[in-house]
Amino acid sequence: MTVTLADILSAANTIRGRADATPMVPSVHMEQAYGHPFWLKLELAQPIGAFKLRGALNAVANLPEGTRGVTCCSTGNHGRGVAFAAREKGMRAVVCMSELVPAPKVDGIRALGADVHIHGRTQDAAFAESVRLAEEEGFAMISPFDDAHVIAGQGTIGLEMLYQRPELEALLVPLSGGGLAAGIAAAAKAIKPDIRVIGISMDRGAAMYASLQAGHPVEIEEPESLADSLGGGIGMDNRFSFPMCRDLLDDVILVSEAEVYRALQTLYYEERMVAEGACVVGIAAVESGKLDLTGPTGTILTGRNLDMRVLAQVISGRDVQLGDTHIEGHKYGT
Ligand SMILES: *Cc1c(COP(=O)(O)O)cnc(C)c1O
């Protein structure tokens, strides 16, 4: 099961003028500090504040005629993307969530015109409700990462990056369920076979990394993280994103909470930009010395739907407490 360059080119046609072709800007700071040109692809500038709009638009556009509605159980950027894409098509969207999801996230998705079904106290209960809607009411269920049309949509980022800067030699891609990395790697390697594509995950809760090590999908614990958009499993019946990441990624690097904390400060103080923890893992991997830059490199700033109170703590160098996860404060530049 795979996604080809032809699928990605077709996705680019489908979403053109609906998801934005985003700018890619140079980081003077990263180039000066690490000796090679470093590019930031600004997916946080998408209408929903994250790249997930690309995959959602392509998936919704490819649904069979007469589909009654769409459902998913993402509380984050995929939920927003599906809500946006369904509204645009005049189709009903139901996003299923657990009782534990904070009110602002529920409101954000309702504001895009989707219905929200609150179901049970776990993500599993919310997932079961989504499955019920699919089975009993004929809704199409769209996975955030393990769906060929979603992967092809995310892959359009790879096309754009190589179109914008053909000299790129390495791409650092935030990695969770792997839809983003699979799509980008499929596009980039079809165009430029010797480009290196490296996935970056958090060192705790890295389900794709653990699955690649094991040779099959595995479930792991998910502690709270500054990079909350990178949480979640890859699905035990994964069909697309696992085999594609296995076959296409050159490496997967893990970064710590402290490294993400520092990279959020770098983005803020050096680039004057605000983004989610999940976005800065590429910067964190370089800063941590776990990855030597060997030529022009690009990373994707994937989204900006973050808790601004947490960001305020990070930029002022205070300690951060997320559930059981404690991150020691550190003033930038000291
Ligand atoms: C979904 C998401 C990711 C990871 O994408 P996968 O396809 O699940 O690997 C990274 N950053 C942000 C902001 C996201 O919403």
| Ligand 1 binding residues, C-beta < 6 A | 50, 52, 76-77, 144-145, 174-181, 229-230, 276, 278-279, 302-303
Residue among 32, 42, 118, 40 nearest 79 (CA): 118
- Percentage of residues in the chain with pLDDT exceeding 70? 100
Measured CA to CA in angstroms, residue 191 lies from 8, 297, 298 at distances of: 12, 16, 16
Residue 288 annotated to the active site: no
Measured CA to CA in angstroms, residue 275 lies from 18, 65, 86 at distances of: 22, 37, 26
For the stretch 139-169, pLDDT in tens is 999 999 999 999 999 999 999 999 999 999 9
* Pairing between β-strand 297-301 and β-strand 170-174 as defined by DSSP bridges: parallel
Q: How confident is the model at residue 232 (pLDDT cuts 50, 70, 90)?
A: confident
Q: Looking at 27, 41, 52, 189, which residue is catalytic?
A: 52
For the stretch 41-79, pLDDT in tens is 999 999 999 999 999 999 999 999 889 999 998 878 999
pTM score: 0.96
What are the structural domains of the chain?
A: 5-50+147-327 (3.40.50.1100), 52-141 (3.40.50.1100)
DSSP 69-126: EEEE--SSHHHHHHHHHHHHHT-EEEEEE-TTS-HHHHHHHHTTT-EEEE-SSSHHHH
- Percentage of residues in the chain with pLDDT exceeding 90? 84
> How is residue 324 written in tokens?
């059981």
In the prediction, which pLDDT does 157 show? 98
Q: How confident is the model at residue 188 (pLDDT cuts 50, 70, 90)?
A: very high
Mean pLDDT score, 262-291: 96
Rounded distance, CA 60 to CA 11, Å? 11
3 state DSSP class of 269: helix
Rounded distance, CA 51 to CA 42, Å? 9
Rounded distance, CA 317 to CA 139, Å? 46
Residue 52 annotated to the active site: yes
Measured CA to CA in angstroms, residue 159 lies from 29, 46, 57, 154, 171 at distances of: 25, 16, 17, 10, 12
3 state DSSP class of 68: coil
